[in-house]
Amino acid sequence: VSLRSKRLAKRLDPAASAFLDSTLEDAGLLLDDIIGSLAHVSVLEDAKVLDATEAGRLRSALRHLFKDASEGEVPLFTEHEDVHMNVEVALTKVLGDLGKKLHTARSRNDQVATDLRLFAQRWTLETAARIRDLVESLLWLSKKHPKAVLPGYTHLQVAQPILLSFHLQAHAERFLRDLARLRDAYERLLVSPLGAGALAGTTHPIDPSISANALGFDRSFRNAADAVSDRDYLAELLFAASLALTHASGLAEEFILFTNQSFGFATIGDDYATGSSIMPQKKNPDVFEVTRARSGTLLGALVASLSGLKALPLAYNRDLQEQKRLFVQTFPLVAPNFGLLARMLRSVTFHPERMEAAANEGYGDATELADYLVRQGTPFRDAHHQSATLVRMAGQKKVPLAALTAKEFAKVNPKIGADVVKHLGPHNAVKGRKSPGSTGPAHVEAGRKQLLAELATIENFFVAAGQAREAAWMTLLGKTSKVKK
């Protein structure tokens, strides 16, 4: 089964053939290709290209092939160039010329575009599911540690005390935005390109909305040339993954810091740490380090995608094959990483006494002291100055602000009363935060509930999307039970 036209007198140089071969990355698209063909059978039957018997035989053969492929029993051969031809060859072995007839009113250009969108749906559903796991772990940890305080940092310098739960919820906010971006991208995935042909549509009076509906797409393409050349969705998903992993890299960075001996804020479970063959004392946070690195890897994939799309004329160019390769390669790098972080976070032990000590050592309550002075009538600028002076005094004694004596306080400002200590120290500071969205305990708890509600909303979207997709596939496969996706 060669696609080489009679115009081409020579066989392809084997080096060129190896260079252009895409069966390796296509292996990930095999199920998508078969299911797409099943939908196309209905289009051809509707257009009278196939009669009912032919359609039935094709369906049956494709469903068998799908089953075999699900069980890993359909090898792809390089000599057949790509997944589409491999499927055609497999069909033809069983059905003879009828197998080839399936290629009516479509081309590899719309076929690969369909496969990629179906694959991208699976990629997105899986990634979204694992990010949801991660958000749940963060909120689980947040609920588990309602009272632990942490030095809040700006410029990685101790700034103001915050609740650990508040901090974890800040991370959850980021990943919720990632889920929203994945949701928007998913909606743009639901346009079927099947039936666009090479670039101009087809001379057969087919109805592309039939396969679009059968595959669970929202609608069919509106312009064939756009349908075969659009790869926006890959770039958009790579961006979403890149930003989500950038968020993960920030989380990873913090845990690398927090488990460092000088911080000592947290310990990773032994089942997520590595040791050293020569340093007996080591316990290394490798998963966090590789996560941090992977944010760069996804950024690289995004650059490769966008740079690869630059300045291409319409419509299909073989450059687009590289887009496919790049995207398929990221599948094992994205969703599993979030899933692993979700599990690993639940193994973390926090050390509240170390966190509190660090907040004290860094004088995170200096703002509270200044605010206390202002409430007593000291002008803000003077209050700021006096608080800084007291920080310096406490620093020389190596004690927290609250451990200064009444005499020492009075030396700087005689109005400072014994009640000042009620405002000092990380716990008091945190309790003093009164505004919505602040680290005040009631506001943090309220925030957690809002996060849970938003998570549920977005989870509903993805669950419904996944179910709709699965139902469509089940119907195409002639099944009622669950299919392994």
| Interaction residues for a second copy, span 452-471 (CB under 8 A) | none
* Beta pairing, strands 266-267 & 157-163: unpaired
At 94, phi and psi to the nearest 5?
-85, -40
What x/- string results for residues 386 through 405 when contact with a second copy is judged by CB under 8 A? Answer: -xxx-xx-------------
CB of 197 to a second copy, least distance (A): 7
Q: Report in angstroms how near the CB of residue 367 gets to a second copy at its nearest.
A: 5
Q: What's 164-218 look like in SS3?
A: HHHHHHHHHHHHHHHHHHHHHHHHHHCEECCCCCCCCCCCCCCCHHHHHHHCCCC
Q: Does residue 290 belong to the site contacting a second copy (CB under 8 A)?
A: yes
Query: Is residue 285 a contact point for a second copy (CB under 8 A)?
Result: yes
Given candidates 35, 179, 309, 328, which one binds a second copy under the rule CB under 8 A? 309
148 contacts a second copy (rule: CB under 8 A): no
Rg (CA), the chain: 30
Minimum CB separation of residue 26 from a second copy in Å reads: 15
Site string for a second copy, 319-338 (x = CB under 8 A): xxxxx--x---------xx-
Q: Which of 255, 296, 248 is nearest to 272 (CA)?
A: 255
Tell me how far apart the alpha carbons of residues 85 and 87 are, in angstroms, rounded to a whole number. Answer: 5
Residues linked to residue 158 through DSSP beta bridges, in sequence order: 153
Work out how close the CB of 220 gets to a second copy at its nearest, in angstroms, rounded to a whole number.
7
Compare residues 375 and 479 and give the one whose CB is closer to a second copy: 375
Q: Which of residues 218-277 bind a second copy (CB under 8 A)?
A: 220-227, 229-230, 232, 235-236, 239, 242-243, 246, 249-250, 252-254, 256-257, 259-264, 269-277
Does residue 385 carry a catalytic annotation?
no
**Stretch touching a second copy by CB under 8 A, among 5-13, 34-42, 56-64, 407-415:** 5-13
Segment interacting with a second copy (CB under 8 A) among 71-79, 305-313, 411-419, 468-476:
305-313
**Given 37, 295, 330, 378, the residue binding a second copy (CB under 8 A):** 295
183 contacts 127 by C-beta, under 8 angstroms: no
Indicate whether 120 belongs to the interface with a second copy (CB under 8 A): no
Beta-ladder partners of 219: 191
Residue 129 lies near a second copy (rule: CB under 8 A) = no
Identify which of residues 8 and 471 has a Cβ nearer to a second copy in the complex: 8
HEC string for 251-315: HHHHHHHHCCCCCCCEECCHHHCECCCCCCCCCECHHHHHHHHHHHHHHHHHHHHHHHHCCCCCC
Pick out residues in 368-387 that bind a second copy (CB under 8 A): 368-371, 379-381, 384-385, 387
In the complex with a second copy, the residue whose CB is nearer, 322 or 470, is 322
- How many amino acids of this chain bind a second copy (CB under 8 A)? 186
x-or-dash string of contact with a second copy, 199-218, rule CB under 8 A? xxxxxxxxxxx---------
Has 276 been annotated as catalytic?
A: yes
Nearer to a second copy, 67 or 385 (CB): 385
Residues 59-98 as x/- pattern, contact with a second copy by CB under 8 A: --------------------------------------x-
How many whole angstroms separate alpha carbon 409 and alpha carbon 58? 89
Q: Under the criterion CB under 8 A, does residue 304 sit at the interface with a second copy?
A: yes
Q: Determine the longest span between alpha carbons in the chain, in angstroms.
A: 100
Burial, 160: exposed, middle or buried (Cβ in 10 Å; 0-12, 13-18, 19+)?
A: buried
Helix then strand count (H, E) for the chain reads 20, 6
Tokens 């977005």 map to which residue? Answer: 458
Q: Is the dihedral of CA 188, 189, 194, 199 positive or negative?
A: positive
Residue 447 sits in the site that holds a second copy (CB under 8 A) = yes
Q: Which of 155, 262, 307, 481 is catalytic?
A: 155
Residue listed under structure tokens 């009640």:
419
Toward a second copy, which CB reaches closer, 86 or 202? 202
Q: Say which of 5, 192, 276, 387 is annotated catalytic.
A: 276
DSSP-derived letter for residue 163 is E
| Contact characters 164-183, a second copy, x per CB under 8 A | --xx-xxx-xx--x--xx--
Please, is 21 exposed, middle or buried when counting C-beta atoms within 10 Å of its C-beta (0-12, 13-18, 19+)?
Answer: middle
| Catalytic residue positions, numbered | 155, 276
